[in-house]
Amino acid sequence: MFSVKIKKIENTVFTNSGSFLQTPFWAEFKSAHGWKNARYELEVSPETELKHELSEKKVEVSVLTREFGKSPLRFTIAYIPLFPSLPFKDVDAGEQTIEFCSLLSDIADTLKTVIPKNTLCIRFDPAIEFLSPEERDEFNVGVRVVSFADRLKIKKNKVDIQPPDSTQINLLPSEEEILSAMKSKWRYNINLSARKGVEIICVTGDNPEFSKYLDIFYDLYKITAERDGIAIHSKKYYEDLLKKSSEEIKAGKNVPKISLYIAKHEEDFLGAIITLFSKTESVYLYGCSSNTKRNLMPNFLLQWTAMKDAKNYGSEYYDMYGMPPTDDPNHPMHGLYLFKTGFGGKNIHRPGTFDIPTNIFYKAYSAAENLRAFWHKKVMKKIRGR
């Protein structure tokens, strides 16, 4: 249905808008931590006459690849985060499922010509947003039906790479209007934290005391990981992210601003978050907290401070980046849902991760990946909980 032409971009122009996952900055950062990146220009045109206008006829896309295994069984995964969007403008998602599946398949067929021959699959996190999980789930069912009927081999991954559910706070209104959209208890907790003397320290990678504050952040993150049963990166990962942003901004490059916020009360460090600001979005990337003085509500003041800074930076919205899909009290992360939605944002629900297999060993890899996810999310969490 679509013809897709591809051209490699050799001289990347740094951008600071759109999804951060598709910026050259993020691709270069990931390439320093196990991935390789390449940037391409894709030109999409219909092979037959269409009733609706295409959303994007020409677009730049970052393609990440990662190799693993041992010779002779070495394989590669190709990953394209937050791409593509729906094919047509101003058409409901449910009315273009067939076209979306065709576009995804045609893009994958084109990418096969430039990715390594040992690639197991091409993995997409489509940039499509729904206002309810029911609409999203209905769309995903449609994708499965169309893929089966048209033999397109599009597989919904059981393990989503990017969090499909989030809430986004609109930063365009005044600070007073943003506060008024929050739940009253959230406004109270923000004021309580400030009134009780909680101090918020903002640090970037070029701060003279950066190493000290990074150590504080990582110590808090280890406490959080142990308490909540989550996996975290090495300290070097967060260090590189913060330093790379500061260094490239200082060099005059148009890249997102990465900051570390730490909540302190007297001599105690109570919590910390890492944020990313661009001209389109601001994102709450990582967060952690101590087990002490939680009654001072430091996490509320941390988020509000970051939101105000993001607004002043020029971001359009603040993305809480990951939460349960619904207000289900039986969900193990229900508290996270309540915390993030209490700031008055708009809930969004993306389709999640789709794979298009390109190798006969994909099934074995997918089974191993699902088993690994089950082990870490179910078994190890229960063990840590005990």
Looking at residue 376, its pLDDT comes to 54
Residue % of the chain over a pLDDT of 90: 83
The per-residue pLDDT for range 140-158, each reduced to its tens digit, is 999 999 999 999 999 999 8
Q: How far is residue 32's CA from residue 248's CA, in Å, rounded to a whole number? A: 15
Taking residues 31-49, report their average pLDDT. 90
Taking residues 123-146, report their average pLDDT. 96
299: region left, alpha or beta (phi > 0 left; psi from -120 to 50 alpha): alpha
- Please indicate whether residue 17 or residue 37 has the higher confidence score (pLDDT): 37
Taking residues 350-370, report their average pLDDT. 92
Q: How far is residue 288's CA from residue 266's CA, in Å, rounded to a whole number? A: 19
Looking at residue 380, its pLDDT comes to 46
State the pLDDT confidence band at 111, using cuts at 50, 70 and 90: very high
The pTM for the full model equals 0.92
Q: How far is residue 170's CA from residue 11's CA, in Å, rounded to a whole number? A: 34
Looking at residue 210, its pLDDT comes to 97
Most confident of 112-116, 361-365, 374-378: 112-116
Taking residues 293-314, report their average pLDDT. 97
Looking at residue 378, its pLDDT comes to 54
State the pLDDT confidence band at 138, using cuts at 50, 70 and 90: very high
Helices 235-250 and 210-228 sit at what angle, rounded to 10 degrees?
140
Looking at residue 89, its pLDDT comes to 87
Taking residues 215-219, report their average pLDDT. 98
State the pLDDT confidence band at 1, using cuts at 50, 70 and 90: confident
Q: How far is residue 171's CA from residue 308's CA, in Å, rounded to a whole number? A: 8
Q: How far is residue 55's CA from residue 69's CA, in Å, rounded to a whole number? A: 39
Residue % of the chain over a pLDDT of 70: 96
Looking at residue 384, its pLDDT comes to 43
Q: How far is CA 20 from CA 26, 47, 275, in A?
A: 7, 31, 11
Looking at residue 374, its pLDDT comes to 67
- pLDDT over 70 at 166, yes or no: yes
- pLDDT over 50 at 345, yes or no: yes
Average of per-residue pLDDT values in the chain: 93
Taking residues 323-341, report their average pLDDT. 95
